[in-house]
Chains A and B, each alone.
Chain A
Amino acid sequence: MTAAIEISGLSRRYGSVTALQPTDLSIAPGQFVTLLGPSGSGKSTLLAMLAGLLEPSGGRIRIAGRDVTETPAHARNIGMVFQGYALFPHMTVGENVAFPLRMRATPERTVAAGVTEALEMVQLGHLAARYPSELSGGQQQRVALARALVHRPAVILMDEPLSALDKKLREQMQFELRRIHAAIGATIIYVTHDQQEAMTMSDRICVLRDGSILQDAAPDRVYFEPANRFVAEFIGESNILPVSLIERDGGLLRLRLPSGEEVRAPEADAAEQAEAEIMIRPERVTIVAEDASAENAIAATISEVVLTGGLTRLIFRTAWGQPLSATWLTDRGMARLTPGTEVRLGWRVADTVVLRKADP
């Protein structure tokens, strides 16, 4: 099967600054791929080059097997949702959505049908005669979406499409986008700096930093097996503790914490070095009774209990003074956890991820 998008050695420099290191990426048809990273990581640069809005400094881009590296944006036959929507302010919603069809010299009857269908899909059929300025932010967002998919492009690019919406609307749109993706089956490349958004919608997440892809995997793997400390910290909450390797014990590693306490972790490449770090997700940390046995357990002191709603966040302090957080489903009983109390914290061996120390 031909890849929907295939890039090889694609790079971009601005003078002496490298926005994107030479990058390879292959995306299968119908995938929802998110480029996730902080600002300046090169994700928008990559997207702009896919769209034909930015010239690459090197490398090739193929869309559906066709080399489009030198093809101008208007001839790439893609759809795109822009940050801030970029609707045509002097055209009605209907005219905005009709634009890609008209540019393809579609017969007017087909245009009308296509516009209606696209607007129905984003549930804006009744607003075709309005101007963008008369719509709310959420509605404008839907128009931008309809315009991007009306001509049935095989590839739709989205550049932080939800960043201007408030939290509630954003979460609602995330599910809407999933529904639309399932309905039209197009390949979607989605750029965002919001890791939660990426987790919610993607088939695949590429985490970028400083112009390179650090990890390219399914959301659950990015979450449970982050390639390095940056990914671990960027995606979700994490506790990162310094360790030194004591020995390999079959499929397990025996590791020593700064307090001298010993913990175990699954075998990992990262443990080649004597000094390493382990990462434990806060929701995997529990309090274990003094006499109970746990796969891994250390002594700690409660320093803060914060009720955030459905979840309660607890901050502990380890024996060597490092804060360690835990996130639990809120329960009335937590009122009894008073700061200063000494407890034993435990987590499972399988939840212990060894990270390479060298990664800053």
Chain B
Amino acid sequence: MTALRRLRHPVLSLALMATVLFLIAFFLLPTGRLLILSVLNRAGEPTMDHYARLFSSPVYVQVLLNTVRISLITAALSTVLGFPVAYFLANARPGLRRVALFLVLLPFWTSFLVRAFGWMILLGRHGAINSTLMWIGFDGPYDLMFNEAAVLVGMVHAMLPIAILAIYGVLDNIDPRLPRVAQTFGARPGSAFWVVYLPLAAPGIAAAALLVFIASLGFFVIPALLGSPSNMMISQVVIFHADEMSDWGFGGAIGVMLLVTSVLIFLLFERLVGAQVLFSDASLSSGTEGRHPPGPGRPRRLLTAIGRISDLFVAALELMLRALPSGQRRAVRHLLGALLPALLIAFLILPILFVIPIAFSRTEFVVWPPVGFTVDWFGEVMRSPIWRSAAWRSVSVAVATATLSVLLALPLAIQLTRHPFRFRGGFMALLMAPMIFPHIIIALGLYYFFARLGIIGTSFALVMGHTLFALPFATLTLLAAFKRYDWRIDQAASVSGAKPLTVMRLITLPLVSAALGSAFLLAFVRSFDELTVALFISGGLTTTLPKQMWTESLTQFTPALTAVSVLFLAFVSTLILAGEGILKARR
């Protein structure tokens, strides 16, 4: 009996152990160490000096409050704006949905930097909006950039895809017949939506708000590029202080503040909705199935009231539409339903596209409209040893990260779906934590850890750091595939005489190859796009593409940089399309 067990488990258990050790070594210990440093002075004695310094300076307190405020507004706006798009995705025809999903995924996988560049081209003093206004006859140029409004627009633009995908994940699992069922029981369309659909969607909405809030807390790209010093967010302070190597304790104190805020919000979320929504892994919830989405309990009266009001609007709209012949009426209804999502998707995509014409402009500076046409910038970038080595470094680190992630995620996903073990919940929480933690804390912890090991700037350090973020994505992708997997097929093969490894090679792997492909791609893009960890632990000759783009953009925003962005965009969208292709071919 034990022989049978031993035959099945060794590789799986090994992967589980390796992952736990990996997470302890590169996540728990470094991050924990950083947090401990916040209460130690240089001699290693306990002290609260770092916190005293943080709170005694009105500047830091101001920055902390500013960070929380911007994050809250961003979370609220992203969630409210994300819902219509997610609803559209969940209810659109399959063909339309695929197109719309691609348009949401493209910005999701496109570097925050490239997206910020788009806004710089739009909002700059010589940017697209100012030049258009002046062409129309306004006085201009106006100062559209370097203020809080610009930061918020940029932040919402950066975070909206996360919100959309989080909400979509939940909406996609709601039985689309339910609102219609409610209507057959007498609910008007508006009431059916607010009383039946929205409560079911609530976990997704809450998850979106949480994810965006926590991601925003640790964000620095947008406020640094689009904001003024008075819009500074806390991560910028961390980055600033990390440059002066000595001040670990202070960085740690800021990390603790970020962490405490995140954990408080997370616990609130856990109490209200339950964390499993975040991991979109229903198999996880099997133990905690008793937890229902917040159904029509306390907020029912409010929702009912809103539903009634919305019914009035719908009725009024229908009255106006009645003037039209029925064919046109349907067309108008469809148009109205698609209008808001279409506008929001345009808001996501268009700013990114503005980098393209600039990349072909003859001017030395970024001005709108672009002047003439040249491909010189591409030539310059592709000949430049710095850009070439950065690109090479990024690709090789991403390939290594993706390979490592998939190699770990595959046995993990099998273990998690097939052989439930006692600490499964705890393990998942540990595995997913890097995804939910503000990245800046992890990056700072790794910086300190790798600095002591003397391996700052090595590819190994980068790959380890990136795998922390890529592994959860790869694991979730494979978990989803294995959850749908019919293990009887494997059993049939083994009863037919196939040895375990033969079953794996001939049956299991071919059947999940699409998921393996997308897990690899997801992990690859996660790493390829990663800036925070790279910012701290790469540098000089070992810089990565995002790090190099970041460094350049701080000194000067040039057409050469937009050329890099265009290449970056082309590369990432090719990857997404290739991934889509794999999925489609497999179906």
Listed in ascending order, the chain A residues whose CB lies under 8 Å from chain B are 51-53, 55-56, 69-70, 72-80, 82-84, 86-90, 99-100, 103-104, 147, 151, 157
Contact = CB atoms under 8 A, between A and B. Distances in A.
B287 to A, nearest CB: 14
A147 B4 contact: no
B414 to A, nearest CB: 16
B511 A82 contact: no
Contacts of B3: 70
5 contacts: A53-B495, A74-B495, A83-B488, A86-B486, A103-B493
Given A69-B1, A86-B486, A74 B491 contact: no
Interface residues of B, number: 23
Interface of B: 1, 3-5, 7, 486, 488-489, 491-500, 502-503, 507, 510-511
Contacts of A87: 489, 492
A124 to B, nearest CB: 17
Given A103-B498, A104-B497, A151-B497, A86 B1 contact: no
B502 A73 contact: no
A77 B491 CA distance: 13
Contacts of A157: 495
Nearest to A56: B1
A251 to B, nearest CB: 50
Given A53-B491, A53-B495, A103-B493, 6 more contacts: A73-B491, A74-B496, A99-B493, A100-B497, A147-B492, A157-B495
Given A86-B486, A88-B489, A76 B511 contact: no
Given A70-B3, A72-B7, A51 B489 contact: no
A86 B5 contact: no
A83 B495 CA distance: 14
Given A72-B4, A86-B486, A86-B489, A79 B495 contact: yes
A151 B491 CA distance: 17
B499 A74 contact: yes
10 closest Cβ contacts across the A-B interface?
A103-B497, A86-B488, A100-B496, A86-B492, A73-B494, A80-B495, A86-B489, A74-B494, A82-B488, A55-B1
Given A90-B510, A99-B496, A82 B1 contact: no
Contacts, number: 80
B565 to A, nearest CB: 40
Nearest to B490: A86
Classify the interface of chain A: helix, strand, loop or mixed.
Answer: loop
A88 B494 CA distance: 12
Contacts of A103: 493, 496-498, 502
Interface of B is mostly: helix
A103 B497 CA distance: 6
Nearest to A99: B496
Residue from the set A70, A73, A104, A147 with the largest chain B CB neighbour count within 10 Å: A73
Contacts of B486: 84, 86
A151 B497 CA distance: 10
A100 B506 CA distance: 12
A78 B7 contact: no
B497 A77 contact: yes
Contacts of A70: 1, 3-4
Nearest to B497: A103
Given A70-B1, A70-B4, A82-B488, A88 B497 contact: no
Contact of B511 (A72, A89, A99): A89
A323 B488 CA distance: 45
Contact of B495 (A55, A78, A84): A78
A84 B485 CA distance: 13
Nearest to B502: A103
A86 B497 contact: no
Contacts of A72: 4, 7, 494, 499-500
A82 B490 CA distance: 11
Given A74-B499, A103-B497, A104-B497, A80 B492 contact: yes
A94 B542 CA distance: 54
B510 to A, nearest CB: 5
Given A82-B488, A88-B489, A89-B511, A76 B495 contact: yes
